[in-house]
Amino acid sequence: MQAYNLTHLKELESEAIFVMREVASQFENPVLLFSGGKDSIVCAHIARKAFFPANIPFPLMHVDTGHNFPETIEFRDKFINKIGANLIVASVQDSIDQGRVVEEKGINASRNGLQTTTLLDAIEEHKFDAAIGGARRDEEKARAKERFFSHRDEFGQWDPKNQRPELWNLFNGMKHFGENFRIFPISNWTEMDVWQYILAEGIELPPLYFAHQREVFKRDGVIMSTSDFIEQKPEEKVNTMTVRFRTIGDMTCTGAVESNADSLELIIEEVAATRTTERGTRSDDKRSEAAMEDRKKQGYF
Amino acid sequence: MSEANTYLDMELLRFSTAGSVDDGKSTLIGRLLYDSKSIFEDQYEAIEQTSKKKGEEHVNLALLTDGLRSEREQGITIDVAYRYFATPKRKFIIADTPGHIQYTRNMVTGASTSNLSIILIDARKGIIEQTHRHTFIASLLGIPHVVFCINKMDLVDYDEAVFERIKKETEAFASKLDVKDVHFIPISALKGDNVVNRSENMPWYKGSTLLYLLENIHIGSDHNHIDCRFPVQYVVRPQKEEFHDYRGYAGRIAGGVFKAGDKVVALPSGFSSSIKSIDTFDGEIEEAFAPMSVTLTLEDEIDISRGDMIVRENNQPTVSQDIDLMICWMSNKPLQERGKYAIKHTSADARCVVKEVRYKMDINTLHRLEDEKEIGMNDIGRVSIRTTKPLFFDSYKRNRITGSVILIDEATHETVGAGMIL
């Protein structure tokens, strides 16, 4: 008798495809948030699979801080072109120019927090009722309590103590006018699952994820790439190192790790042996113990 | 084989843990994560610091699972937290649920997607009311495997007699419930006995350690592979030249095995056809089974939309508007007899009216309280409902996917009830 068993990756993929199709069915105007990072690339890949042979029935949106790695933008445009999707770019620079937000000052200035306003404005402007994102529960402990279908009020706020219970695979996307949802199809994936899936599916990634030579300096123990967007202190010495990035965000808050892993196989071996979480390289999470929870409440992912 | 490839061939086991703070549930989870090397250094350092700041003697592993500020402040778990770890054999998803009585709804939520439930019993206290409640919920939610961990064996001198007594009492109690596969393991989560490593303190115990059991328990039969059920989730109609006449029915198989060429019937229309192809992004496949997400095309053009169900001709679900449920209530506003709610079942949406509350369960004594009709937050009871349109369902015992519903408050849109079809 044949064993009707799926591997863990196939089961996670099937679950994520199911969620994508629920979004397309339950919402009128969904959008897939695309940062050019590996998690959102995996989400876009799964969305393609979910609706094949049709195209993805909703646009992709990039919240552009203007402080991206140039490699990310190059990859983004190539990727969008390849899969034949529509891309909307929501710009933090525009929000600053319109006086919606004020740029942070000082040495650790980052536009990471400003993204929330740009995102919420874009959701309102385009009347999106669901925004799909690649956040995972294993990333951070406030995220461990996030739902697949995460309800947001008309201010885009997350109320962690008043979340809808989520049972079986029955997702409740009912809402009032003006409210919207954040949807996390790869909630149950770990960093390792994502890498294994990328390997198994032969998914292309921005070169930043692979070991390369780069001019860097150290701040609070985090290896940062030199860039026009960061003010360096005089004592912060620039070195050329062989590094790669475990996550890709803004140049101002994304740290690199020293690594020689220049292939997916080597990255997976490295991830298996690593003793710190991937967000350990993110200075935006280090601001306080509840940094992520607070940002999420305000509407961050 | 390189490390990268060995990880590609693992199974997924979802389990839930129930128990209160005193049972050592967090310690057990911490032990599993720690001994399987799934706690990262920065996570460990963060909780080490917090423990110190609070003046605690040991590193408090419970802090790992308390994700929200209010939980950390109060030192209790409020919500279901999901944890992940993997061994070379399996990937595990833990639904960590709080065990206090007021959080029955969280336990039910965590249990709804689990293949296995770990129920902790304090060896010093034996079976308490809470054990009854946890076991009842595991049985009600149809969890295929239940593992009773008799914890804190170190505090009863690793005494076999204590273990055997609790085991016997639990067996007697569990036999009244519908739990299929039951296991007992004497452990000490704090000291690590029989969690990941075999205990040298209990040579009398010949069974497997908890992790060995989690890695090897047979879960291949947990899905229904007998009754073919395909709830149509989404209709794929590409607006492309090369797929001009393509009409595919996308969905996740809820039961049985579908093969190309199978004779099928679409509900509710009752029209017959046969499966032309089972499509995926990676190409056509010969057969598909639960829980695969696929797209079916049929030989004949029949009108099928979301909420319909494709089944085999000779094995059809119950089609009815009158449904009996066990319901777990999840809202501060009690269930209203004659009240109307929105209802979700597979991919179908409808409305329903609660015709009658038959009884409320006392979930500690398992008595049916026939005179109590008020079902409030965290209560479980039996109700009869009538839906605005027929649903296509199986009993929850037969199929957890086609046998489950949720009730939604039409004004607030909150999920207020979880129902299991009898």
Interface test with A, best of B64, B76, B80, B84 (most A CBs within 10 A): B84
Q: How many separate helices (H) and strands (E) can be counted in chain B?
A: 8, 23
Instruction: Please report, for chain A, the start and end positions of each structural domain, with discontinuous segments joined by +.
Output: 8-193+289-298, 206-285
Contacts of B42 in chain A (CB under 8 A): 276-277, 280
> Crossing angle of helices B129-140/B104-112, nearest 10°?
40
Which residue type occupies B313?
A: E
The mean pLDDT value of chain B amounts to 89
CATH (one of 3.20.20.70, 3.40.449.10, 3.30.160.270, 3.40.50.620) for A8-193+289-298: 3.40.50.620
pLDDT for B288-297, tens place per residue?
Answer: 999 999 999 9
Query: Predicted confidence band at A1 (pLDDT cuts at 50, 70, 90)?
Result: very low
Is pLDDT above 70 for A283? Answer: no
CATH of domain B229-312: 2.40.30.10
- Residue B236 half-sphere exposure, CB side, CA atoms within 13 Å? 28
DSSP string for residues in A213-277 = EEEEEEETTEEEE--TT-PPPTT---EEEEEEESS---TTTBEEEE----SHHHHHHHHHH--S-
Structure tokens at A72: 């990310």
Instruction: Reduce the DSSP state of residue A93 to 3 states and report it.
Output: helix
Q: Which residues contact B262 (CB under 8 A, 6 or more apart)?
A: B228, B274, B275, B312
- Tokens at residue B221, please? 């039969």
**Backbone phi and psi for residue B148, each to the nearest 5 degrees, phi listed first:** -90, 120
pTM above 0.80, yes or no: yes
Span A253-258, average pLDDT:
86
The CATH architecture assigned to B3-216 reads 3-Layer(aba) Sandwich (3.40)
Mean pLDDT within A11-40:
96
Q: How confident is the model at residue B2 (pLDDT cuts 50, 70, 90)?
A: very low
What dotted CATH number matches B318-421? 2.40.30.10
Interchain contact, A25 vs B306, CB within 8 Å: yes
pLDDT beyond 90 at B46: no
Is B43 in Cβ contact with A7 (below 8 Å)? no
Taking only the tens place, the pLDDT of each residue in B240-281 is 888 888 999 999 999 999 999 999 999 999 999 999 999 999
Note whether B3-216 and B318-421 share their fold: no
Rg for chain A, CA atoms, rounded: 19
**Reduced to 3 states, what is the DSSP secondary structure of residue B88?**
coil
Rounded distance between C-alpha atoms, residue B114 and residue A109, angstroms: 44
- pLDDT digit string, tens, across residues B189-203: 888 899 988 999 999
Q: Beta partners for B17? A: B96, B118
Interface of A with B in 112-141 (CB under 8 A): 137-138, 141
Domains of chain B, by residue range, sit at 3-216, 229-312, 318-421
- What is the per-residue pLDDT for A126? 93
- A192 inside 8 A of chain B by CB: yes
Give pLDDT tens digits for B56-75. 766 666 666 655 555 555 55
pLDDT band at residue B1 under the 50/70/90 scheme: very low
When pLDDT is averaged across residues A237-251 and rounded to a whole number, the result is: 87
Q: Which helix (H) or strand (E) holds B235?
A: strand B234-236
CA-nearest residue to A166 within chain B is B109
Choice among A112-121, B104-113, B208-217, B272-281 with the minimum mean pLDDT? A112-121
User: Residue B62: phi, psi to the nearest 5?
Assistant: -60, -25
What's the gap in Å between the CA of A118 and the closest CA on chain B?
26
Residues in chain A: 301
For residues A18 and A6, is the Cβ–Cβ distance under 8 A?
Answer: no
Cα–Cα distances in Å, from B349 out to A170, B64, B304? 11, 38, 15
Residue range B25-52: mean pLDDT, rounded? 77
Residue B373 phi/psi, 5° resolution? Answer: -105, -5
Q: State the Cα–Cα distance between residues B61 and B25, nearest whole angstrom.
A: 10
Residue A81, phi then psi, degrees to nearest 5: -60, -45
Q: Is the predicted pLDDT of residue A301 greater than 80, yes or no?
A: no
Express each pLDDT in A163-210 by its tens digit.
Answer: 889 999 999 999 998 889 999 999 999 988 999 999 999 999 999 999
Among residues A293, A231, A281, the alpha carbon closest in space to that of A253 is found at A281
Contact B234 A280 (CB under 8 A): no
Long-range contacts for B191-200 (Cβ within 8 Å, ≥24 apart)? B191/B154, B192/B31, B192/B35, B193/B153, B193/B154, B193/B158, B195/B28, B195/B31, B195/B32, B195/B35, B196/B31, B196/B32, B196/B35, B196/B36, B197/B35, B199/B153, B199/B158
Cβ-defined contact of A196 to B4 (cutoff 8 Å): yes
